[in-house]
Every structure is written in C-alpha cells, then in structure tokens.
Structure 1
C-alpha cells in the first residue's frame, strides 16, 4: 500500500462512490478503481462492499481508513520538517577539499558574512575518488586536468577555477631568468611531483613525452607548501598551481609552453543537496571566493 491508495480509500468511504471520490481528487473514476484494486490485493480481507448504488467500507476498510488519517498527518508533519530544514539558512554545511583548494577557499568561506555554519575537512584523493565523497559531504572541491575525463553525471558541478600550473624553480636558478619555459628546458632537471594516481601525474608524463626524455622523478610529495620548500632548497623543479598555492619568496614560477598545464577546480555535490538554502549559499560564496583567488 502507499499514501495515494490510502487517501482514495478514505475519500470513497466518506463520499460513498467512486465517481464522487474521482471528482474530489481530480482524477478519473477508472484511476480510483485501479488504486482500490491495488490496495485490496495487499489486504487479506475485503475493504469495500456494495450497499445498493453506494460503495461503503467494510469494518476492515473503516479501520484502515482511520489509520490512513494518522498516516497522512504524520506525512504532513514530516514534509513540514523537511521544508523547514531545506529553508534553514544557517544549517551546518560539510565541505571537503584537497589541500591547496582548502588553503585557498576555506579561510575566505570562514570570513564570509553570509556563509552558514561550516564543517571543514581535507580529502586529498585521486580524481575518480572525488565524486564518491559527495555521499559523505554536502560539497566536495575536486580538481581534474584539461584532458582528463569529465565528472560523472551522478554529481552536479559548479565550476570555480581553470587554473594554470607553472614550473617552480629556485629564484636563483638560471631558468628563472626566462619569462617562460619549454619541456626541453626542464626535461633534464630533477623533479618533485605527486604520487602515482593523482591528476598532476598526467601532465608530468606529457612534459616528458613532449621533450622525448624520461623525467627524473626524485621526490614524491602531494602538499604544495612542502613542494615549494623543497624547490627553494634546490631539490628540483616542480609544477605548482599559479593561484591556489602559497607563494614562496625563494621560488620563481614560470609558465610552460607547448603542453596543456591547466586544471579545473570544481565544487561537486549531489543535486538533492542543493535544495538546501544553506548549501546554495555556500556555492554562491565559493564562486565569490574563486573570483578573489584569481585576482
């Protein structure tokens, strides 16, 4: 049984005919009859009977109709509770982000006057593991490279940044004197890069392919703050995001030519989460924060 069938039973019992119930519910008499048949199939005893030209409820039907009123009242209260939750402007919104996005976006969200209460989390995972995180968090900040597969249709996406990835070199390195670099310029340098499986590795491989040289991957570090310190110490060169990574005074960033070195930073969420006003407010503040990050 379901809510529609119970409501049909109540209306038939009160009005005494299928036709009258159909008029009250703005449906056809055949639709009323079908709902009654479906409900009757799930019951071990008759629910209706004929009394002349009228359709009346049996004792079992009256008992079920009475219970149906309680069911409708409970469902109405549940809907009101959900509607209040959805429209609540200051409900807690959980957000997860990979490290550089967290550093760039979380402080701006916390300072935003319109932002609701936040529960912030770091999740540094491979690209295909960002969408499943939307089961656990209201909003997930994920990143993917230009040539990577798009996000699956199971998640909604709000685009935030299309960020360049620059080559980071020590400020006193000869390469720092150039305004831009090519794959051949950096192919013979020691490299600091992320672990296998993370989005940035595809760009590292593309640099080696463009230079026709296997890059020497000396250090594997995912946190860009640590990467910048290693570059400053002369441990090698690296790719570092232009806008979201913290600048280091001893590190120079130079754009790389002839290889696509941009990543998308997007807010991922399940479509139903955006029904909440608090989540919609967070998405608006994330877009404002993205404008500030680019600037």
Structure 2
C-alpha cells in the first residue's frame, strides 16, 4: 500500500462514490478503480462493497481510511520538516579540500560564515589522487579538487562548480641563474634536480609533459606533496619545482617564473552530488567559494577565475 492508494480510499469514503472521488482528485474513475484494486491486494479483508449501484467502504475500509488521515498528516509534517531543512540558511556544510586549496579557501569560508544565520562550515583536508576526489562527495557536501588541463574531466556522477584555472610556475631559489629570465622552457629546466609530488597525483602529468617536451628524463630528487615543504626545500637549494601561482603562500627566498611549451595550468573545482545543492546552506557556501576564487585570481592583476 502507498500514499496514493490510501488517499483514494479516504476520498471514496468521504465523497461517497467513485465518480465523486475521481472529480475531487482530478483523475478518471478508472484510475480510482485501479488504485483501489492495488490497495485491496495488500489487505486480507474486503475494503469496499456494493450498496446498490454505489461502491462504499466496508468497516475494514472505514478503519483504514481513518488511519489514512494519520498517514497523510504524518507525511505532510515530514515534508514540512524536510522543506524547512532544505530552506534553512544555516546548518552544517562539510567541505573537504586538498592542502593548498584548503589554505586559501578555508580561512575565507570561516570569515564569510561567521555571522548569525550563516552556515556552519566543517572543514577537512583531503590530499588524494585525481580519481579519488569524486568518491569523496559521498562523505562531504562539497569537495574542492584539482585536475590538470590535459587530464580526464570529472565524471558525470558529480556536479562541478568551477573555481580557478590556475597557472603552475617554476619555483627557483632566489639568485638561481634561471631566475633572471622572464619565462622558462622545458629545455631550460630539464637538467635541474626536481622536487615533485608522488606518482598518481595530478602534477605528475605536467612533470612527464616537461620531460617529453625536453626529450629527456628529469632527475626527481625529492618527492613531497605539501607545497609549503616544497618551498622550503627549493629555498634551501634542493632543486626546482612546479608551484601554483595563487594558492601557495609566497616564500621570501624563492622566485616563480612562468613555464612555456607545455600546458601548465590546473582546474580547481568544487565537486558535489547534485542533490546536495537542494540545501540553501550548501548553495550559500558555493557562492562564497566563487567569490573567494574571484578575489584570489585578481590579486596579481589578472582575472583567471574559472567560468
């Protein structure tokens, strides 16, 4: 038995005939009869009987029709509760982000949602391979992930809110001979020791593209995923590295130079399950992320927020 069948039974009892019930529910009499037959299959005693030319409720049917009122009342209350939950501007919104994105978006989200009536943001860091970001949307309302220009797009199982299209620059120790150049090519940097991420993480595809463009393998001296640590190793003279232009804090002893000859940009996107944005609070946090992304990309006088 389901809600529609119980509503039909209740309407039949109140209106007194199949025709009147059909008019009240704005369906055909045959649709009323079909719903009654389906309901009767789930109940071991007769619910209706003939009284002359009219179909009326049996005592069992009257009892079930009375219970239907309670069912509809409970369902209406449940719908109201869900609607209130979805429409509430506050409530907890869980946001996961990889480390460098968490460092720039996290503080902005905390500040933007600090007022009364705002969502409560629950932040988490998740530094995973590209393919592992979409599954995280099962655990979090919003997942901030990144992928390179030439890697596979996000799967259709998640909705995507673009945030940034961020350049990846070459980080050099201040005073390094290559720092005197305004731009660098794969040939310029191929013979340097490198500090790069572990295999499987998004930036490795660009490292491989640099090696292919230069026509030789790179010397991967250090494997470190955390950009703050990478910057310290670069500053100490341990090698060069690919560094995001906007989402890492500048280091006083490193210099960033643009790289030409390969695609050296990454997409930073907010991933979420489509149904999550039914909540007003989740939509509010997504708007804050977009506003934060626009501010981040404009700090060096450019406008590279994703569109």
Shift in Å at residue 18 of structure 1?
A: 1.4
Aligned-CA RMSD value: 1.1
Give the TM-score, by structure 1 length: 0.97
Structure 2: unaligned runs, 5 residues or longer: 299-307
Any idea what SS the aligned residue of 1:32 has?
helix
Determine if contact 1:13/1:55 at 8 Å carries over to the other structure: no
Given the alignment of the two structures, is residue 158 of structure 1 paired with residue 161 of structure 2, yes or no? yes
Distance (Å, rounded) in 2 between the aligned partners of 1:143 and 1:68:
51
- 2:272 aligned residue (256, 262, 269): 269
Given the alignment of the two structures, is residue 116 of structure 1 paired with residue 119 of structure 2, yes or no? yes
Distance (Å, rounded) in 2 between the aligned partners of 1:31 and 1:191:
72
Distance (Å, rounded) in 1 between the aligned partners of 2:257 and 2:83:
51
Determine if contact 1:98/1:123 at 8 Å carries over to the other structure: yes
Give structure 1 regions of 4+ aligned residues with deviation exceeding 6 angstroms. none
Shift in Å at residue 273 of structure 1?
A: 1.1
Shift in Å at residue 46 of structure 1?
A: 1.8
- 1:177 aligned residue (157, 175, 180): 180
Distance (Å, rounded) in 1 between the aligned partners of 2:31 and 2:134:
41
What residue number does 2:231 align with?
228
What residue number does 2:210 align with?
207
Given the alignment of the two structures, is residue 144 of structure 1 paired with residue 151 of structure 2, yes or no? no
Given the alignment of the two structures, is residue 22 of structure 1 paired with residue 25 of structure 2, yes or no? no
- Higher deviation after alignment, 113-122 or 223-232: 113-122
What residue number does 1:105 align with?
105
What residue number does 1:5 align with?
5
Any idea what SS the aligned residue of 1:287 has?
helix
Any idea what SS the aligned residue of 1:167 has?
strand
Distance (Å, rounded) in 1 between the aligned partners of 2:30 and 2:132:
49
Give the TM-score, by structure 2 length: 0.93
What residue number does 2:262 align with?
259
Shift in Å at residue 44 of structure 1?
A: 2.0
Structure 1: unaligned runs, 5 residues or longer: none
